[in-house]
Structure 1
Amino acid sequence: MASIPSSAPRPDDAPDSYVGLLAENAQERARQRGWTSVRSLPPGTVITLEYVAGRLNFEVADGQVKRCWAG
């Protein structure tokens, strides 16, 4: 039987610390801190509710992070 793959652990990082940063700077910081996937979305974007360990989501308006959450 094949083993079940383990997902990457979530970095010990506070998503709220990205709010207010420029999107480019926030993405760079997130990757440096160990997030395996970083996704930038405009406000009001319809997305699925699947949780992906190691992913950080940014809601970006006018080039600035307005909201941030893991998954």
Structure 2
Amino acid sequence: MVKVKFDSFDKLILNEINKEIEISVRSVPIKGEANKEIIRKISKYFNVKTDNVRIVHGLYSNIKVIDIFLK
């Protein structure tokens, strides 16, 4: 599960206890810009292509479920 804070400072925190990622993005959630930034940050953190990161649930929410295809 990913918790998102919009219009905030850039940061990404991996909480291994709760199996959550807390991510802050500068983009506002308009026209999918924040979702694109989330995908870019997660792909960079896990060192995968952006095509291998997909938002499964929560496109319009600040709590998201994301698939990451690691190769």
Which structure has the highest helix share of the two?
2
TM over 0.5: no
Taking CA–CA contacts closer than 8 Å with sequence separation of 6 or more, which of the two structures ends up with the larger relative contact order? Answer: 1
**How does the TM-score come out when normalised to structure 2?**
0.31
Q: Which has the higher strand share?
A: 2
Largest Rg, 1 or 2: 1
